[in-house]
Amino acid sequence: MSDVTRILNAIERGDAKATDELLPLVYEELRLLAAQRLSHEAPGQTLQATALVHEAYLRLVGDALQSWESRGHFFAAAAEAMRRILVENARRKKSLKRGGDYSRVELLATDLPLQGSLEEILALEDALARLSQTDPAVAAAVNLYYFAGLTLDQIARVQGLSRPTVAKRLAYGRAWLHRDLLGADET
């Protein structure tokens, strides 16, 4: 049993000191996942990898009692927490109360097209929710690949699958999301 799994089991039993031991062991991996995810975000993203890690960690080991089966399960939960934080951040930025209908434009780059608009992020989140209703296993693989930045081999280990199975799920997920985002009646 790895140190992380042992500590996760201690947290599940209610050992408050175990949460203090967990962060140093997983921090660098979580930071790497957050940095990978944020590298795919649109320019102007104000959330930093450190803040994303801390927020995700607080959600994972906060007041609610959690139960993780393994290290892989913990990191899958961390990826999900990061995705939700980024979506919440996008929704908050989009809200009219905070000037969500205005686009941030850099003075020196006014002729460059903006990438990854808030509408696209929210449309993707809605499509992912629909995919999760249809095929939760495929949605989980897509989430780990695109939002957590895990490789096919890492996803295979986390989900206990073969690499070809993960590749098939990702191919199906990409096609499903593409069709959903463009509209099924356009095909």
Residues 6+ apart with CB under 8 A from 71: 2, 4, 5, 8
Domain ranges of the chain: 1-101, 117-187
Model confidence over 84-112: pLDDT tens digits? 888 888 787 777 565 555 565 443 333 32
- CATH top-level class for 1-101? mainly alpha
Which of 31-45, 48-62, 114-128, 149-163 has maximum average pLDDT? 149-163
On the question of pLDDT at 70 being above 80, the answer is no
pTM of the model: 0.49
Q: What is the DSSP letter of 160?
A: T
DSSP states of 44-95: T----HHHHHHHHHHHHHSSS----SSHHHHHHHHHHHHHHHHHHHHHHHHS
Q: Is 117-187 in the same CATH topology as 1-101?
A: no
The CATH code of the domain at 117-187 is 1.10.10.10
On the question of pLDDT at 170 being above 80, the answer is yes
Query: Which two structure tokens, joined as six digits, stand for 165?
Result: 């199975």
| Inter-residue contact 43 to 110 (CB < 8 Å) | no
Q: Which residues of 5-15 are buried (b: 16+ CB within 10 A; e: fewer)?
A: bebbbbbeeee
On the question of pLDDT at 17 being above 50, the answer is yes
pLDDT of residue 124: 80
| Inter-residue contact 46 to 101 (CB < 8 Å) | no
On the question of pLDDT at 185 being above 60, the answer is no
Residue type at 177 in one-letter notation: L
pLDDT of residue 133: 94
pLDDT of residue 92: 77
- As a whole number, mean pLDDT of residues 150-166 equals 90
Which residue has better confidence, 91 or 117? 91
Which of 52-61, 81-90, 160-169 has maximum average pLDDT? 160-169
